[in-house]
């Protein structure tokens, strides 16, 4: 109980800032998930790319770069890694032979639900103490801040 009381009234200059608490929690949440992905030899950027590729049947590397707010060079490296890991394939577009569409392989389709379960487990680990209403409110507040500040880049590191 004493620990909660000391956190309620911070006596250290850093601890009075919401950004401090947000960064503290965020670093642990994202670091834990990145470590879990690393065990499967995947990066957060690769996980995000797989999700984008699954959602869009007509996505090209250029579209993916735009969606993830990354350079084409950075996306090219991610796409190459995912192709080497046999998670995705490149297929010529039926409309334009110069364009290559990205799609999940059967292995990628089997892997993605497992990765989502890992993300769910990570969320449960860090946010499981919050009830449904608290989680909803936290999500609403964070989304509101992202909207107000026009933050729409996908975090990949």
Nearest residue to 109 (alpha-carbon basis) of 40, 36, 34, 51: 51
Q: What is the dihedral of CA 63, 69, 73, 74, to 10 degrees?
A: -120
Tens-digit pLDDT profile for residues 108-138: 999 999 999 999 999 999 999 999 999 999 9
Nearest residue to 126 (alpha-carbon basis) of 5, 41, 27, 40: 27
Q: Which helix (H) or strand (E) holds 92?
A: strand 88-92
Q: Are 33 and 119 in contact (CB under 8 A)?
A: yes
Q: Are 99 and 93 in contact (CB under 8 A)?
A: yes
Q: In the chain, what percentage of residues exceed pLDDT 90?
A: 79
pTM above 0.85, yes or no: no
**The pLDDT value given to residue 98:** 84
Tens-digit pLDDT profile for residues 60-78: 999 999 999 999 999 999 9
Specify the DSSP class assigned to residue 14.
Answer: G
Q: Are 49 and 68 in contact (CB under 8 A)?
A: yes
**The pLDDT value given to residue 57:** 84
**The pLDDT value given to residue 1:** 47
Tens-digit pLDDT profile for residues 32-61: 999 999 999 999 999 999 999 999 988 999
């Amino acid at each position: 109980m004493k620990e909660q009381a000391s956190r309620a009234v911070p006596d250290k200059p850093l601890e009075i800032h919401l950004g401090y608490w947000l960064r503290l929690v965020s670093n642990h949440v994202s670091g834990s998930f990145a470590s879990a992905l690393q065990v499967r030899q995947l990066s957060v950027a690769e996980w995000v790319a797989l999700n984008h590729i699954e959602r869009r049947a007509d996505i090209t590397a250029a579209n993916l770069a735009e969606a993830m707010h990354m350079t084409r060079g950075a996306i090219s490296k991610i796409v190459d890694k995912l192709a080497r890991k046999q998670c995705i394939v490149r297929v010529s577009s039926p409309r334009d032979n110069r364009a290559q569409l990205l799609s999940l392989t059967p292995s990628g389709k089997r892997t993605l639900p497992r990765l989502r379960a890992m993300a769910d487990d990570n969320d449960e680990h860090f946010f499981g103490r919050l009830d449904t209403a608290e989680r909803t409110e936290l999500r609403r507040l964070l989304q509101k801040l992202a909207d107000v500040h026009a933050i729409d880049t996908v975090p990949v590191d």
